[in-house]
Each structure stands twice: as structure tokens, then as C-alpha cells.
Structure 1
Amino acid sequence: MVAVIIYYLLKFLIGTRGWQILTGIGIVLSLWFFAKLLKLKTVVWIFDNLWTVGIFFLIVLFQPEIRNALAKLGEKGFLGERGFYFNKNSRNSKKVIDEVIRASTFLAEKRIGALIIFERFTKLEHYLEGNYVKLDALVSLELIINIFEPKTPLHDGAIVIRNNRIAYAKCVLPLTINTDIPSHLGTRHRAGIGITEETDAVALIVSEERGTISLAYDGILYSDLDNLTLKKLLMEFLGIETNKRNITKDLREIIRDKYSDYNPLRKVNKWKR
């Protein structure tokens, strides 16, 4: 039982900031062990007194990971995943996705970079950095294109869609610390992956350099997507009401054909050139 708990704890932490902190704690523990082995009394005394307050330091250091774990527990619940409705009005949600895909396709053709975040259960205010702008605007092709048009005031950063409306623009997001990311992926991709590692959000990234559209969810990047695949993945990740059986079947075919080594039971990063 203990081994199972340790396994899932390590599986959850690998690839996050908590993993680096855990590595640092391991180094400190090694120093403490060698200090006792070499009978360095002063160093051992310091370490022995640190352990009394160490639990509070751990809670502070692992606050983002603890918050993320509790959020995922609340999302799935004790009786399995509850599912997510992007909005109670499924028709409006589908129209929003259609507008986003149309805008993303136009931006990709024009080689204009964009980062669009769909908020799910976890509120994103605490993860936004910089002087972001509150909008509360309807999602439309024209507005999205205008926001990301170069040299406009709001083009630098991400937009956040909440309840079928653009809630924020010019958002700076936390970057992933994953060192395995290919060098050709820029700041937008790293920000999109980073926000999906720390929250349950879905990130759509338009590459300015390559003119391609990617999707990030749960720290996994789906690259070079066509419009049909993009729409099906968005519908699945956002849990919009539709024929779930057909979508799941189609997704299996998509993943098998385009992501043959994708394993849904293991949190890995899939990069595709």
C-alpha cells in the first residue's frame, strides 16, 4: 500500500516544479545522512532542529501541487469523473468552438501567433501574471483576430475564455519547466503546456513561425492539428454534450493513427514535428 502511494505521488510530481523541490529535499537528506555518518555534531544538530518545522515548509513549498491535486480530486470525485460542461447551453458552446477554430485557421494562414485558454473547473485568476485586461466580451472571429493582430494593444499574451465569453486578454502564463520540450517550441507553446500542467484548462496555440495549430491538455501537447481533429479534441476535453460514444471512438482512431505511442494511462508529453 505504501509503495502504491509513493508510486502515484512520484507520478504526479514528475515534470512539475514540485519534482525539482523534491530533488532538492533529497539532496538535503543526503547531506544530513553523511553528516551523521561523519559525526558532524553541529551540522546534525542544525538538521535535527529543522525537521520540527519542516512540515510547514513542505506545505508552503508544495502549495501549487497540493492545490492542483485537490482540484483534480474535486473534478473526478470519489465516484469517478463527473464530466464537465463548458456551458449549460451546448449550442452556444459549439458556436464558440466554431468561432475559435475559424479564427485560429485564419491566424495560422497569416502566420500570426495566438494563445487561447479555455477555463474549466479551476479558476485561472491566481495563475495569470502581468497587467492582464478584463473584457467579458462575446467570442467572435473578428474580435479574436483583432486581439492578436500585431501592434494592437492586446496582442501580446493569451486570452482566457470563461462561460463562452472572453474574460481576459493580454495574459502572461506560467511556463512549463519540462526540459524535454523540443527547441523549436517557443514561448507560446511553453506557456500553453505550463498552464495545463498546473490547472485543468485547455490551451490552443497558433504557431507564428510554422503556421500550425496545437492543443495542450493535462501537460500533453497535440501538434499540427487539422480543423476536424482540433474540433473533436476540443469537444472531448471540454465535455460538450454530443454523441459521446462516437467522439470516443473517433478519438481512439485519431490517437492510433497520429499518436501511435500515446498512452492515456500515463502522463507523458507527446511532441510531433
Structure 2
Amino acid sequence: MPVLEQVTTLAPMEILKNIVDVLLVWFVLYKLITIIKGTKAVQLLKGIFVILIGRYLTEWLGLKTLQWMMEEVLRWGFLAAIIIFQPELRRALEQLGRGRLFARTAMQEEEERDRLVSAFSKSVSYMAKRRIGALITIEKETGLSEYIETGIPMNSHISSELLINIFIPNTPLHDGAVIVTKNRIAAAACYLPLSESPFISKELGTRHRAALGISEVTDAVTIIVSEETGAVSLTVDGDINRHLDMDEFEKLLRISWFGSEVGQADTSLWKWGKRKNG
């Protein structure tokens, strides 16, 4: 076979260069896809693929007029793509100039974490000051689908405004827990299992018992705002940390949610919080 013969006659260094060349092309294409993901450019790219398929089909079927129209569309399509994709292209060039194009994924993850922690902190602070009761459970490794099914499906983007609105008293969704999975609000008004531990303080109500209950059977992180006192608490792995101020809350949320990535110094705060609450 001619192709096989050409491959076998290549020097090892040439083969390695070709492999690296192909891998780099795929890597660049992958990064470009991550940039346009979630934008209108995705739908436009689908339209371009449809036109390309139509072009080859018209040639195969011998539809001369339609083939000519497809060829004209493709001939001027490059210029049209530059105009249509101008915002996405500008963003990609800006990131390339800042050296961020190939580090985009890691930076996006860190930015998303900061946004989520900020959204929780703002909503919890607002509700604590006004003594609005809240119960928010964040899924980690253990799935929470059986508890999500007990609530009202939402699949919503997380924002402080939405979290606050859910727990406003006398609204349809305020009674029960909000469950967060894959960085989205999966459901609201969910039922969580109550802890049956005899060592729970008598002053803790149903929200705290539910938060402890879910932390005993899963690795989920649960945030509680007391309706009676406005106190902020957090549970994980069967432990509860109570009476947190906002700085402590943010640090402990990062530790509990993202683990060792926040650093050893902050991990000691979780241990200190457990000692503080007995």
C-alpha cells in the first residue's frame, strides 16, 4: 500500500514531528471549542457544518443550481464568519495576548469557585441579618439524587439573589433544603434525613438535625441559617460548626467543599471551629 510504504520510509524523528503536529492541532481546536462553548457561535458552527454537508450532497446528486449557491456561500463564508464571530475572536486574541489562552481551564475553575463562594457568602449574610431560615446542601462525591427527587426540580444558575428569594418566608420553595450539584441548584424544598444522634444539643432545631443527618450518611456540605437567632452554621462528616462570622464561613466553606486546595493553614481553622463549639 502506498500510504504504508510512505510511513515506513519516514525517519523516526519525522514520525515524532508528525505526531506532535497532529496533537497540537487537536489541542488548539479543543481550546477554541472551550472558548466558544456556551455562546451563539456554537449554533452558527452547526449551521456551517450543515452547509458543508449540503454542498457535497448537491454535488453527489448533480443539483447544479443548488451546488452553485452552496459554493457562493462557502466562498464568502470566511469573511462572514469573521464578522459574525467578531466578539469570540476578539476575546480569544485578548486571552492570547495575556498568555491566558492555554491556561484558561484552570483559571476558569478558580474564578467559578470564587464566584460560588461569593454568592453563598452574600446570600447567607443577607439572610442571617434578617433571620431568614435557610438550609443549603452541596453535593460532593456521594450522589444526592434520592433527596433531589423529593423536592422541586430547578437546574438553575447559582446566584445570591436566587438563593435569597427561595428562602423568603411564606413562598412555595422556602420550606426544605436547596440541593446544589455540579455547581447548579438542582432542586429546592427537598427533604433531608434527620439525625438520630442522642448527643445533639436540645437547642438545635429541625434544620440543624437535617443538616447533621445528611452529613452522617453522605460527604455533602450543608449550610444552615437559624430562623430564631440568625446564626450561621456548617456541617460536614457528621460535625457541626456553629456561630460563624462571614470570614470564618467563607474559609470553612472552601475547606469543606474544595478540600486541601485551600491550604494547610486554613485546615486548622476547621479544627479550631470544632473545638470552639464543643
After superposition, where does 1:177-196 map in structure 2 within 5 Å?
Answer: 177-196=196-215
1:181-207 CA distance string (max 9 Å, x none): 111100000000000100010000000
TM-score (normalised: structure 2): 0.58
Aligned length: 172
1:173 partner SS: coil
Aligned equivalent of 2:130: 110
Letter in 2 for 1:155: H
1:151 partner SS: coil
Aligned equivalent of 1:101: 121
Cα offset, 1:240, TM superposition: 6.4
Distance 2:274 2:145 in 1: 33
Letter in 1 for 2:251: K
Aligned equivalent of 2:265: 249
Distance 2:187 2:270 in 1: 32
After superposition, where does 1:196-211 map in structure 2 within 5 Å?
Answer: 196-211=215-230
Letter in 2 for 1:94: D
Letter in 1 for 2:218: T
Aligned equivalent of 2:175: 156
Cα offset, 1:125, TM superposition: 1.5
After superposition, where does 1:1-80 map in structure 2 within 5 Å?
Answer: none
Q: 2:148–2:179: 8 Å Cα contact kept in structure 1?
A: no
Q: 1:188–1:205: 8 Å Cα contact kept in structure 2?
A: yes
TM-score (normalised: structure 1): 0.59
1:89 partner SS: helix
Aligned equivalent of 1:119: 139
Match of 1:226 among 226, 245, 249: 245
Change (3 A) 1:125 1:254: closer
Distance 1:166 1:208 in 2: 22
Letter in 2 for 1:250: D
Cα offset, 1:259, TM superposition: 3.9
> What is the CA RMSD across the aligned residues, in angstroms?
2.1
Change (3 A) 1:129 1:161: closer
Aligned equivalent of 2:236: 217
1:14-71 CA distance string (max 9 Å, x none): xxxxxxxxxxxxxxxxxxxxxxxxxxxxxxxxxxxxxxxxxxxxxxxxxxxxxxxxxx
Distance 1:182 1:118 in 2: 24
2:132 partner SS: coil
Match of 2:165 among 146, 170, 175: 146
Distance 1:90 1:118 in 2: 18
Cα offset, 1:230, TM superposition: 1.0
Cα offset, 1:128, TM superposition: 4.8
Change (3 A) 1:129 1:210: farther
Match of 1:175 among 191, 194, 218: 194
Distance 1:236 1:96 in 2: 14
Structure 1 stretches of at least 4 aligned residues deviating more than 6 Å after TM superposition:
none
Distance 1:100 1:110 in 2: 16
Change (3 A) 1:123 1:259: closer
Change (3 A) 1:203 1:253: closer
Q: Structure 1: which 5+ runs fail to align?
A: 1-87, 262-270
Letter in 2 for 1:101: S
Cα offset, 1:89, TM superposition: 1.8
Distance 1:127 1:260 in 2: 31
Match of 1:166 among 176, 185, 188: 185
Q: 2:128–2:226: 8 Å Cα contact kept in structure 1?
A: yes
